[in-house]
Amino acid sequence: MPEGHTIHRLARDLRRDLGRQQLQVQSPQGRFAAESQLLDGDFLQGTDAWGKHLFLRWKSGRLVHIHLGLYGKFRRHKTPPPEPRPTVRLRLWGRDRCWDLVGPNRCELLSEEGEAELLQRLGPDPLRADADVDQVWQRIHKSRVCIGGLLLNQAVIAGVGNVYRAEVLFDQRIAPETRGCDLSREQFLGIWERLCEWLQIGVRYNRIITAEPEQVGRSRGRMRRKERLQCYGHAACTECGTEIECWELANRKMYACPVCQAGGHPVGT
């Protein structure tokens, strides 16, 4: 599932290509046909992201909410675009670019009340200027759930997924099974600040990069796929060479070094 940097990047790119334009809006698949008819000919006023949720705001006051889920993706075309595939849920056609949405978990019109209800269920997003870091700290500090589970809980922090979870805990040398209430404020701030930094890098390069250029010997833009990460998917620890452990935690695969992240509940048990 795309993590938060991907959604913020999409919001930025859609705004650049289609913002403040009168758009043709279609639903070749038909599952968004009635809504597309309402939006066809409307002006896209702006785009916004909160965690893994994308919002398209229109001059008419209407709001489209998109959640890509596991299989959703956008495809970008020059205009005139090719004939749409029959699976395209939403086509947005502007002056120079056309964007097709395929396979989203959610693509819907939301009322103001619906938007407020959705945002109420989400935790602060490290990529947003209005993120309340103290709110995140309070939710983690008061919880007996392990930090490896809390980081995937979108009601705690919005936008963090499985890769960032493993990488930030490795970077901060924290055992994934450490309970939230056992973390110090200093440890929490280390997690938060690193996530803010990495998510911004993710938006810039449109990929997850947690390794430093000095570690790899090449710039972020030239790193190979395996070189971009420090722990996730690796067979051995990039710091000490110990075999990386992999197990299920919060229904997702967790990667951690049993030596560098020693402490708390034993890694991998």
Q: Which residues are catalytic?
A: 2-3, 52, 252
Radius of gyration of the chain (CA): 20
Residue 143 near residue 230 (C-beta atoms within 8 A): no
**SS3 of residue 160 by DSSP:** coil
- Beta sheet of 53-58, edge-to-edge order: 44-50, 53-58, 63-67, 106-109
Range 3-40 burial, b when 16+ CB lie within 10 A, else e: bbbbbbbbbebbbebbbebebbbbbbbeebeebbeebe
CA distance 198 to 168: 9
Residue found under tokens 């110990």: 242
| Other CB atoms within 10 Å distance of the CB of residue 75 | 15
Residue 176's Cβ-count burial label (10 Å; 0-12, 13-18, 19+) is: buried
Residue closest to 75 by CA, chosen among 12, 4, 14, 1: 14
The residue type at 173? R
Tokens of 192: 């938060």
